[in-house]
Amino acid sequence: MGKRTALYDAHTALGARLVDFAGWDMPVNYGSQIDEHHAVRRAAGMFDVSHMSAVDISGDDARAYLARLWANDIAKADAPGKALYTCMLNDTGGVVDDMIGYHLGDQRYRVVVNAATTQKDLAWMHEQAAGHAVDIRHRDDLGIIAVQGPKAHDAIAEALDEELAPAALNLKPFYAIESYDWLIGRTGYTGEDGFEIILPATEADALWSRLRRAGVQPCGLGARDTLRLEAGLMLYGQDMDDDHHPLESGLGWTVAWAPDTRDFIGREALEKHRAGDHREMTGLVLEGRGIMRAHQAVRQAGSEGEGETTSGGYSPTMEKSIAFARVPASWQGEVEVQIRNRWVPARMVPLPFVRKGKIKV
């Protein structure tokens, strides 16, 4: 038996199929994973993501500390409420984890890290804090509910109280508001508009119930994965890890190179990768029969080198198999993917595949 979020009873009452995910008992679906996927693309769905960890960072050196810890530039989160997506790198440029950071004001920040990497992340954060006046607090008293989809606004308007709802609905993308122990961000992991609500775990069940009454579809990890795949969003442990740097993981856009004087951890190694040959992440759409999965070989006729899929599956929106692949930067056009000892044709496409309900490739 794994750890349980505050919403465990709500999941079991709905007949969710639970699986072990990073040591947590989490719902993979509540019935039809395809229906849950379409609910987010067409209306609104909600996810219990309380297995992910909120970490509060504060103190006189908090900003200077994050300027070195993050590959993206903390200066972009220049006002309270601004959110920033970033990677945290090791000395060789590999990705320790990816995360969203929120500027809460007055040298206070909150980051949300992945469930499977929580203990590793906390150890790395504490190690890098040496010599800095910062306090690092793991907020295991909090839960997180993500509400995603084109009708997420309507659901939030109905489920939140009359004081909090207007402020949440007025948020711009990648901004957040803090109200007592609640933090509501207009962020997400599906390619749709929506909100992520961080709140006391003891209040999560009541919010979940209000959202259900507002017509929001509970969704599990299965739909979360197909949605993020369509949206071109990377998953830690598959598309990035300690051994792969952001430039070969579809995350080069998260690295802030300017100013040249900002010495973030991993910069020296990343500069060498930047100057040399490296592989890049691309999207693949399968042209033949089969389903692409992670760790399948990719080749291109007449080209040197080889590639490999990192994430793959069936796209309910496109009704085709899609994947991410790490391939030589010079490749373009048609390739082949090895599926069960068969080489199946596929084409390289830019990411994302789907955004805001629209097919982009």
Residue with tokens 């629209």: 358
Burial of 126 (0-12, 13-18, 19+ CB in 10 A): exposed
Nearest CA to 320 among 285, 293, 296, 295? Answer: 285
The per-residue pLDDT of the chain, averaged, comes to: 97
Residue 213 sits in a domain of what CATH number?
A: 3.30.1360.120
- 275, 291, 318 — which closes off a domain? 275
- 217, 250, 275 — which closes off a domain? 275
* 145's tokens: 């509910």
Tell whether 161 and 225 lie within a shared domain.
yes
- 275, 310, 340 — which closes off a domain? 275
Tell whether 198 and 305 lie within a shared domain.
no
Domains contained in the chain, number: 2
Tell whether 346 and 216 lie within a shared domain.
no
pTM over 0.95: yes
Tell whether 296 and 213 lie within a shared domain.
no
Tell whether 216 and 312 lie within a shared domain.
no
Q: What is the pLDDT of residue 102?
A: 98
Between β-strands 135-138 and 307-315, what pairing exists: parallel, antiparallel or unpaired? unpaired
Tell whether 286 and 261 lie within a shared domain.
no
169 lies in which domain range? 1-275
Q: What is the pLDDT of residue 85?
A: 98
User: Distance between terminal CA atoms of the chain?
Assistant: 42
Tell whether 109 and 192 lie within a shared domain.
yes
Tell whether 338 and 222 lie within a shared domain.
no
Q: What is the pLDDT of residue 45?
A: 98
Q: What is the pLDDT of residue 38?
A: 98
pLDDT digits (tens, 9 = 90+) for 264-279: 999 999 999 999 888 9
Tell whether 231 and 309 lie within a shared domain.
no
pLDDT digits (tens, 9 = 90+) for 146-183: 999 999 999 999 999 999 999 999 999 999 999 999 99
Tell whether 195 and 48 lie within a shared domain.
yes
Tell whether 346 and 224 lie within a shared domain.
no
Residue 308 sits in a domain of what CATH number?
A: 2.40.30.110
In angstroms, the CA 84 to CA 100 distance is: 6
pLDDT digits (tens, 9 = 90+) for 16-46: 999 999 999 999 999 999 999 999 999 999 9
Tell whether 196 and 308 lie within a shared domain.
no
Burial of 89 (0-12, 13-18, 19+ CB in 10 A): buried
Q: What is the pLDDT of residue 110?
A: 98
Listed as ranges, residues in the chain with pLDDT below 50 are none
Q: What is the pLDDT of residue 124?
A: 98
